[in-house]
A and B are shown apart, each in its own frame.
Chain A
Amino acid sequence: KAGVTQTPRYLIKTRGQQVTLSCSPISGHRSVSWYQQTPGQGLQFLFEYFSETQRNKGNFPGRFSGRQFSNSRSEMNVSTLELGDSALYLCASSEGQGAYSPLHFGNGTRLTVT
């Protein structure tokens, strides 16, 4: 099976712009989660979707949003970018719902905000 695919791998944006990141989960996986990784804060949970419904959201401002499509693919959007949004954004998929299934991560999208 193909793994979790994230596009693009790298992005450079300017403050105030908006960005959309894409994630294709492993075939058959219906749950998709997003995490932000920074040197200072480490790995932080953004949100999680299952069957197109957001089931949980982390402590991030409303500028961070996401959605999941009927084919389980997911996108996350960050509007009005700030310098502090520079990070590695990781998407993960899992087979089932609940906190039982291991997460399978993609390689991430490295976002740099200048």
Chain B
Amino acid sequence: AQKVTQAQTEISVVEKEDVTLDCVYETRDTTYYLFWYKQPPSGELVFLIRRNSFDEQNEISGRYSWNFQKSTSSFNFTITASQVVDSAVYFCALSEAPQGGSEKLVFGKGTKLTVNP
């Protein structure tokens, strides 16, 4: 069965620090997708990134970067020079691509990030 583990329940940093959020996943499928979502206090889940299982290239988008390693089944997320506005709960999610397709995501429990001024 699919499983996503975010071992860090809560992280607290001071503004401008770098922070890495860990995500480890389990799946038996060879084709799958990994996602990161951000949930600010307003409640809406905001899509950050999608990565498919065939693309192990790391990605950088502004202060955000993602490190995908199939060998360790990890998809970690780093925020460089954190800001107070980055405070939110961050979710890692896994979606398999069965025949016929289905929009089902399996989410980790989330990591609550607090960035203090």
Contacts and interface: CB of A to CB of B under 8 A. Distances in A.
Indicate, yes or no, whether A interacts with B.
Answer: yes
Nearest to B32: A99
A45 B105 contact: yes
B33 interface: yes
A-side binding surface: helix, strand, loop or mixed?
strand
Interface residues of B, number: 28
B40 to A, nearest CB: 10
B55 interface: no
A66 interface: no
Q: How big is chain A's contact interface, by range? A: 20 to 34
Contacts of B98: 99
Interface of A: 3, 31, 33, 35, 42-45, 48, 50, 55-56, 58, 88, 90, 92, 94, 97-108, 110
16 contacts: A31-B103, A43-B91, A55-B100, A55-B103, A56-B104, A94-B103, A97-B103, A98-B101, A99-B103, A100-B97, A101-B103, A102-B47, A103-B103, A104-B47, A105-B46, A106-B44
